[in-house]
Structure 1
Amino acid sequence: MFRGVTQLSLDAKGRLAIPARYRSELMSTCSGHLIVTVDPSKCLLIYPQPAWEPIEQKLNNLSSFDTVTRNLQRLLVGNACDVDMDAAGRILVSPPLRQFAGLSKDVVLVGQGTKLELWDEAQWNLQIEIAMAFKDSGMPPELEGFSL
Structure 2
Amino acid sequence: MFRGGTPVSLDNKGRLAVPARYRETLISLCAGHLIVTADPSKCLLIYPQPVWEPIEQKLNSLSSFNPQTRSLQRLLVGNACDVEMDGVGRILVPPSLRAFAGLNKEVVLVGQGAKFELWDSEKWNLQMESALAFRDGIPQELEGFSL
Question: Which residue of structure 1 aligns with residue 38 of structure 2?
Answer: 38
Alignment of structure 1 residues 10-49 onto 2, 5 Å: 10-49=10-49
Question: Which residue of structure 2 aligns with residue 65 of structure 1?
Answer: 65
How far 1:143 moved relative to its partner? 1.0
Identity of aligned residues (%): 75
Question: Which residue of structure 2 aligns with residue 95 of structure 1?
Answer: 95
Root mean square deviation of aligned Cα:
1.0
Structure 1 unmatched runs, 5+: none
How far 1:25 moved relative to its partner? 0.7
The number of aligned residues is 147
Residues 6-63 of structure 1: CA distance to partner in whole angstroms, max 9, x if unpaired?
Answer: 0000000000000101100100111000000000000000000000000000000000
What is the one-letter code of the residue matched to 1:116?
F
CA distance in 1, matches of 2:102, 2:69: 25
TM-score normalised by length of structure 2: 0.97
What is the one-letter code of the residue matched to 2:92?
L
TM-score normalised by length of structure 1: 0.97
Residues 39-88 of structure 1: CA distance to partner in whole angstroms, max 9, x if unpaired?
Answer: 00000000000000000000000000111111110000000000000001
What is the one-letter code of the residue matched to 2:138?
M
Alignment of structure 1 residues 134-145 onto 2, 5 Å: 134=134, 138-145=137-144
CA distance in 2, matches of 1:47, 1:140: 26
How far 1:139 moved relative to its partner? 2.5
How far 1:140 moved relative to its partner? 2.4
CA distance in 2, matches of 1:89, 1:41: 26
Alignment of structure 1 residues 49-88 onto 2, 5 Å: 49-88=49-88
Q: Secondary structure at the match of 2:114?
A: coil
How far 1:141 moved relative to its partner? 2.0
CA distance in 2, matches of 1:103, 1:143: 31
CA distance in 2, matches of 1:23, 1:63: 37
What is the one-letter code of the residue matched to 2:143?
E
Structure 2 unmatched runs, 5+: none
CA distance in 1, matches of 2:117, 2:14: 16
Q: Secondary structure at the match of 2:72?
A: helix
Change (3 A) 1:16 1:65: same
